[in-house]
Amino acid sequence: MKNIAISEKAIEKILDKLTAFGMNLIWAVVILVVGMKIANYLTKIVKKFIERSAIDDSVGSFLLSFVRIGSKIIVIIMAATQIGIEGSAFTALLASAGVAIGLAMQGSLSNIAGGFLILLVKPFQVGDYIKEDSHGNEGTVVAIDLFYTRIQTIDNKIIVVPNGTITNSSLTNVTRQEERLIDIRVGIGYEDDITLAKEIMRKVAANHTETLNEDAIQVFVDNLADSCVSLGLRVWVPTDLYNSIRWDILEKIKLEFDKAGINIPYNQMDVHLIQK
């Protein structure tokens, strides 16, 4: 009888513990579900605040990623604590697994650190056109997130580049300055009038409505090549119009050369057949 009474008490204790654990599990699920909704709502609030404020787009994108990920991590820790994993135990668990986590997350931590460096040093911002030299990626920066920087190419593709990769390689910020220098080379024949060709190139650049500082236009003989006299043209233009102005100037130079009878030589090969 005594053994039966002990067994009944043991069963009661087990049932009490299971009941308590079940209730904690239910509360943990509630915390997880409600907490995730609150985290998403908080993220939306921060996003609206960033959009309405004068915060730089680069900082805003990074801050939004930090809030979104950080708030969800807090919710997970709260849910874990509810089912009996104490905060101190949770911390001890992370500490004991620190080396393994560090090795596993080495790339991710490097990307986070890279994101902070980008925001601090500001080699580029959202909206800048950059060329990343290590992998040849280039395009307009559309977002700087916690782990990655997103670049939109001219043909509307999105390239996702780890922040650590960008900070550990050289890059060119094409649009950081308000003005850029167009540097063009055009070849003419040795029998053509160099002075006339140079004057045509100068007039084309000076007469363009978008070129800057007419006095700074440079036209010069760049090289005496094998098949042509290479002429150079340098002119300053607004950065955002660089490509369109360059294309326009090249087209107009060709049309004006045609009118003036100036030839633009091209490489050719003479083949002589010897009959035996």
CATH number of the domain that residue 32 is part of: 1.10.287.1260
Instruction: Please state the domain count of the chain.
Output: 3
Residue 37 identity: K
Give the confidence band of 248 by pLDDT, cuts at 50, 70, 90: very high
| pLDDT attached to residue 178 | 92
| pLDDT attached to residue 101 | 47
Same domain membership, residue 212 and residue 158: no
Return the top range by mean pLDDT from 51-60, 72-81, 207-216, 227-236.
227-236
Same domain membership, residue 183 and residue 162: no
Same domain membership, residue 187 and residue 167: no
Same domain membership, residue 82 and residue 60: yes
| pLDDT attached to residue 228 | 92
pLDDT at 105 over 80: no
Same domain membership, residue 168 and residue 185: no
Q: Taking the CB of residue 165, how many other CB atoms lie within 10 A of it?
A: 18
Give the confidence band of 45 by pLDDT, cuts at 50, 70, 90: confident
246 contacts: CB under 8 Å, gap ≥ 6:
182, 184, 237
Same domain membership, residue 127 and residue 55: no
For residue 214, which of 235, 242, 196 has the smallest C-alpha distance? 235
Same domain membership, residue 155 and residue 72: no
Give the confidence band of 183 by pLDDT, cuts at 50, 70, 90: very high
Enclosing domain of residue 51: 2-96
Residue 106 lies in a domain: no
Residue 105 lies in a domain: no
Same domain membership, residue 81 and residue 52: yes
Give the CATH number of the domain where residue 192 resides: 3.30.70.100
pLDDT at 37 over 80: yes
Least confident of 114-118, 168-172, 174-178, 223-227: 114-118
Same domain membership, residue 228 and residue 166: no
Last residue of a domain, one of 110, 141, 173: 173
For residue 127, which of 142, 149, 137 has the smallest C-alpha distance? 142
The C-alpha atoms of residue 49 and residue 57 are separated, in whole angstroms, by: 12
The C-alpha atoms of residue 164 and residue 166 are separated, in whole angstroms, by: 5
Q: Do the beta carbons of residue 75 and residue 37 sit within 8 Å?
A: no
Give the CATH number of the domain where residue 127 resides: 2.30.30.60
| pLDDT attached to residue 4 | 57
Last residue of a domain, one of 173, 207, 234: 173
- Most distant pair of Cα atoms in the chain: their distance: 125
Between 38 and 104, residue with greater pLDDT: 38
Give the residue-averaged pLDDT of 50-67.
Answer: 70
Q: Do the beta carbons of residue 61 and residue 125 sit within 8 Å?
A: no
Residue 103 lies in a domain: no
The C-alpha atoms of residue 266 and residue 110 are separated, in whole angstroms, by: 50
Give the confidence band of 167 by pLDDT, cuts at 50, 70, 90: confident
Residue 77 lies in a domain: yes
The C-alpha atoms of residue 47 and residue 271 are separated, in whole angstroms, by: 69
Residue 202 lies in a domain: yes
Instruction: Count Cβ atoms within 10 A of the Cβ of residue 45 and give its class: 0-12 exposed, 13-18 middle, 19 or more buried.
Output: exposed
Residue 110 lies in a domain: no
pLDDT at 52 over 80: no
Same domain membership, residue 71 and residue 14: yes
pTM over 0.85: no
Q: Do the beta carbons of residue 195 and residue 184 sit within 8 Å?
A: no
Same domain membership, residue 214 and residue 151: no
The C-alpha atoms of residue 227 and residue 103 are separated, in whole angstroms, by: 60
Between 257 and 51, residue with greater pLDDT: 257
Same domain membership, residue 92 and residue 16: yes
Residue 271 lies in a domain: no
pLDDT digits (tens, 9 = 90+) for 114-165: 888 888 888 898 899 999 888 888 999 998 888 889 999 999 999 999 888 8
Q: Mean pLDDT across the chain, nearest whole number?
A: 82
Residue 108 lies in a domain: no
pLDDT digits (tens, 9 = 90+) for 82-93: 777 665 555 665
| pLDDT attached to residue 54 | 65
